[in-house]
Structure 1
Amino acid sequence: MKLLVTGGAGYIGSIVTRALLAAGHEVEILDDLSTGHRDNVPAEVAFHELSIHDVARVLTPEAGFDGVLHFGAKIAAGESVIKPELYWDTNIRGSLALLEAVRAAGVPKLVFSSTAAVYGDGPGEGLITEQTPPAPTNPYGSSKLAVDLMITAACGASDLGAVSLRYFNAAGASLSDAGHLGERHDPETHLIPIALQAAAGDRDEFLLFGDDYDTPDGTCIRDYIHVEDLATAHLLALGHTAPGRHQIFNLGNGNGYSNKQVIDVVREVTGAKLPVTLAPRREGDAVVVVASSEKARRELGWTPAKADLHAIIADAWTFYQYDKGRS
């Protein structure tokens, strides 16, 4: 298939692009490089340095695209609280421009990069399923939920077949002879790369926000999923779209790891002491957020191949050292 990947120069988009190429697809990338990296784009891939708002310049009827994988978005929950208008503009208005272009061009397939942030704090107990009522607690989650609703309406009004994949905590890296791909956000906001920066001595301290939660060790619990497992799910989702239907799947390992467990594994993988400073709880941090991916396993045939936290962090550490060595 001929596929357009929006946000394909970013962390997850670039790794999914690599998987699509390996599967024999023709890929083009649209990215404004506001957070993505030009060197993430393979030499054989046509690259369009454009805003998502200008996607109709690429996604034309004449271009003959068979599908779109949409990663082009702002993703920092904390920033979204301070600059909500940025998230309305990029995530909602940009996605509306994409849906308009998809419909005008007659593109039959769409896979959307959604997020567990649409669930907010989740049910409090038990795993989060696709039936868990959405309750976003920040503009980032709200913007992604708005796009999910837009996609549902678009599918209902046309023959578009779409799948939204609601990720939990993506982590790890894609390591290959062609080059390593991993997280390099600026500023970094995700727990594992921040911990690796501290372990490497590139950050003065690691702040642990609260150790008095109602969990076995007092720290928040999250579900971490290897980015290559995410990539596999996107390829399966692409083959699972059905005309006029919008399907939603959670993607996670179904296992929760506490912040202290992550710190311990980072110490084990890196061999570093990893200095930790206890800080007050952050407002809005959910206590336990863990996915049920039973629907994705049952209907997509998806099974995480790298569910072990040690393997996830080891790959992220290999990428961090690789990226640091070339900078």
Structure 2
Amino acid sequence: MSILVTGGAGYIGAHVVRLLLERGDEVIVVDDLSTGSAERVGDASLMQLDVAAADARDQLELVLRERGVTAVIHFAARKQVGESVEQPEWYYQQNVGGLANVLTAMRAADVRTMIFSSSAAVYGMPPDQVVTEDTVCRPINPYGQTKLVGEWLLSAAETAWGLNWAGLRYFNVAGAGRPELGDPAVLNLVPMVLDRLARGERPKIFGEDYPTPDGTCIRDYIHVLDLAHAHLAAMDHLTAEQAPIERIFNVGTGSGASVRQVIDAIGEVSGLDARAEVEERRPGDPPRLVADASRIGLVLGWQAQHGLQDIIASAWEAWQAGPRRIG
């Protein structure tokens, strides 16, 4: 197949690109390289383009037609929660406008299959500690809102012109499938801990008085390579099935690890002193947030293959292969 991957030079996208190339698919990456890197796309074709730009639709339609694209995997988006609160207009323009441009080009070129990179941020702060796809979505920041609006837009395109799509709601993504494909951003717990250790500082825990076994928050951590395989499972399902049973899938392990467990695992794998400083709770942190991942197993036959130790070991190997090697 000929697959177009927007945002394919980024952290998660590059893992999907590598898997597609390994199995022999033709891959075209569209990325503005604002957070991604050209070195990450391997032998895939690279088109440098901001999909939210005013002239992006025509360029996207042209490449879809010229390369005979059969499906699109859409990662390209802004994803910093704090930044989305400060610049909501820009986040809607980038995330919703960018998706609209891609869909407009797909409709014109008669490309009818899309896998959409969504997020557990669509749930906000759900009352349920184990979240199913039927949990009511109440996003609490513009980033999460744009992902939910994206799902609505895809559903509307399905009704209007027959788009065949699936939306994957990620939980906490970490690790690396290859040392050169580690998470380049310091926005999530694992790279944040490694960043502090690299600077000779202690990791931080925000609150240790939650109603959990060790008092720290519990989250569902998914290995980025497992997540990449979930995209391929979804795409293969869509291309084989004319009427999918479901459109929305949680991608997680179905089990959780506490903040303290993650930090302790980093200390064990790295051999570093990772004893944490404890600070006051941050507002808005639910005690436990774990995915019910049964739907994706039942419908797509996918399940996570890697646990916390694999995630941390691969993240550490990738960090040590990068420019900020510790020790």
- Normalising by the residue count of structure 1, what TM-score does the alignment of the two structures yield? 0.93
CA contact (8 A) 1:157 1:244 kept: no
Give the aligned partner of residue 238 of structure 1: 235
- Asked if residue 150 in structure 1 is aligned to residue 161 in structure 2, the reply is no
Give the aligned partner of residue 264 of structure 1: 264
- Asked if residue 90 in structure 1 is aligned to residue 89 in structure 2, the reply is no
Cα deviation 1:204-233 (Å, max 9, x = unaligned): 232211112222221111000001101111
Question: Which residue type is aligned with residue 111 of structure 1?
Answer: I
Give the aligned partner of residue 165 of structure 1: 168
Q: Unaligned stretches of 5+ in structure 2?
A: none
Q: Secondary structure at the match of 1:29?
A: strand
Distance in structure 2 (CA, Å) of the matches to 1:318 and 1:13: 19
Question: Which residue type is aligned with residue 78 of structure 2?
Answer: K
Superposition deviation, residue 244 in structure 1: 7.1
Q: Secondary structure at the match of 1:278?
A: strand
- Asked if residue 45 in structure 1 is aligned to residue 49 in structure 2, the reply is no
Distance in structure 2 (CA, Å) of the matches to 1:121 and 1:312: 25
Superposition deviation, residue 282 in structure 1: 1.7
Give the aligned partner of residue 191 of structure 1: 189
Distance in structure 2 (CA, Å) of the matches to 1:310 and 1:225: 11
Residues 22/89 of structure 1: CA separation in 2 closer, same or farther (3 Å cut): same
Distance in structure 2 (CA, Å) of the matches to 1:136 and 1:325: 35
Question: Which residue type is aligned with residue 219 of structure 2?
Answer: R
CA contact (8 A) 1:265 1:313 kept: yes
Question: Which residue type is aligned with residue 259 of structure 1?
Answer: V
Superposition deviation, residue 277 in structure 1: 2.1
Give the aligned partner of residue 65 of structure 1: 69
Residue 126 of structure 2 is aligned with which of 101, 122, 127? 122
Question: Which residue type is aligned with residue 91 of structure 1?
Answer: N
Q: Unaligned stretches of 5+ in structure 1?
A: none
Give the aligned partner of residue 211 of structure 2: 214
Q: Secondary structure at the match of 2:184?
A: coil
Which of 147-156 and 272-281 deviates more? 272-281
Question: Which residue type is aligned with residue 48 of structure 2?
Answer: E
Among the aligned pairs, what percent are the same residue?
44
- Asked if residue 174 in structure 1 is aligned to residue 177 in structure 2, the reply is yes
Give the aligned partner of residue 319 of structure 1: 318
4+ residue segments displaced more than 4 Å = 242-246
Q: Secondary structure at the match of 2:93?
A: helix
- Normalising by the residue count of structure 2, what TM-score does the alignment of the two structures yield? 0.93
Give the aligned partner of residue 287 of structure 1: 287
Alignment RMSD (CA, Å)? 1.8
Distance in structure 2 (CA, Å) of the matches to 1:9 and 1:142: 24
Question: Which residue type is aligned with residue 107 of structure 2?
Answer: R
Give the aligned partner of residue 274 of structure 2: 274
Superposition deviation, residue 250 in structure 1: 0.4
CA contact (8 A) 2:60 2:102 kept: no
Aligned length: 318
Residue 136 of structure 1 is aligned with which of 116, 139, 151? 139
Cα deviation 1:42-88 (Å, max 9, x = unaligned): 1x221111101215403336322101000000111122112212211
Which of 190-199 and 105-114 deviates more? 190-199
